[in-house]
Amino acid sequence: MSHFRVSVVIPTLNEAASISSVIRRLRNTLPGCEVIVVDSSDDGTDRIASLEGARVIKQGKRGYGAALKSGIESATGEFVLFMDGDGTYDPSDIPKLLETLVNGSADLVLGCRFRSKPKNMSLGRYVGNVVLSMLFSLLFWARVKDTQTGMKGARRETLLKMNLNEEGMQFSTEVLTKALKHGFRVLELNIKYHERTGESKLKPLRDGFGIMWFIVKERLSKAGPAIFSRSQVF
């Protein structure tokens, strides 16, 4: 098997309308990267991704976190980055996230969508994300603007050390809490956010309350206060 320095993991659930464009833009930005699409679709997303040269891993509808964990396990790159397959995240932002990992500025880097309210995000989702990030920041003594971002990255060995368990939407919060628990340096960089192609798979109330409960549970049971390093990009 070929080994790459950078692996990009893309979880997909019925993203046939957008996945081709996402992969092509990613290839133009990082020509030598390994693209791993972890797919739970029934609309042909897997076939399109394969035709675009991605390595496709098929799995049942086990959840967002389960897809990303499969991607981490399968990745051959030293660095692993995540992004969604719906066109909301811009591959052109990946190099600056990657640079912070390569030069040692951070062990985990998060792409922050909230330099201001993204015009391509509904008010309800925006408020929900802000509330979750404020709750996390309050309970963990950390300044985090976007805990639920789908664009993030770390060295593969760093992610493996976290022993990640969550298979649903709580995965993003688990990555952050375990990074802080292990004393990893975390950095937040501003990124672009576009209007998605197709319908959202997020269940706002169910997922939001599930994440909120996970934050409270983690604060009470495991992680303690942490110093969070944050950087603005203008």
Taking each helix axis from N to C end, the angle separating 171-181 and 123-140, rounded to the nearest 10 degrees, works out to 20
pLDDT band for position 91 (cuts 50, 70, 90): very high
Higher pLDDT, 234 or 61: 61
What does the alpha-carbon distance between residue 96 and residue 39 come to, in Å, rounded to a whole number?
27
Q: Taking every pair of C-alpha atoms in the chain, what is the biggest distance, in angstroms?
A: 47
180-191 average pLDDT score: 94
pTM value is 0.89
Residue 222: band (very low, low, confident or very high) from pLDDT cuts 50, 70, 90: low
Q: What is the pLDDT of residues 119-175, one digit of tens each?
A: 778 788 888 889 999 999 999 988 899 999 999 999 999 999 999 999 999 999 999
Mean pLDDT of the chain: 89
Q: How many whole angstroms separate alpha carbon 53 and alpha carbon 50?
A: 5
What lies within 8 Å, CB to CB, of 218 at 6+ separation is: 173, 174, 177
Q: Tokens standing for 35? A: 């693209």
Domains delineated in the chain: 6-221 (3.90.550.10)
141 Rama sector, left if φ>0, alpha if ψ -120 to 50, beta otherwise:
left
pLDDT band at 69 (very low <50, low <70, confident <90, very high): very high
Report the candidate in 109, 117, 134 with the shortest Cα–Cα distance to residue 231.
Answer: 109
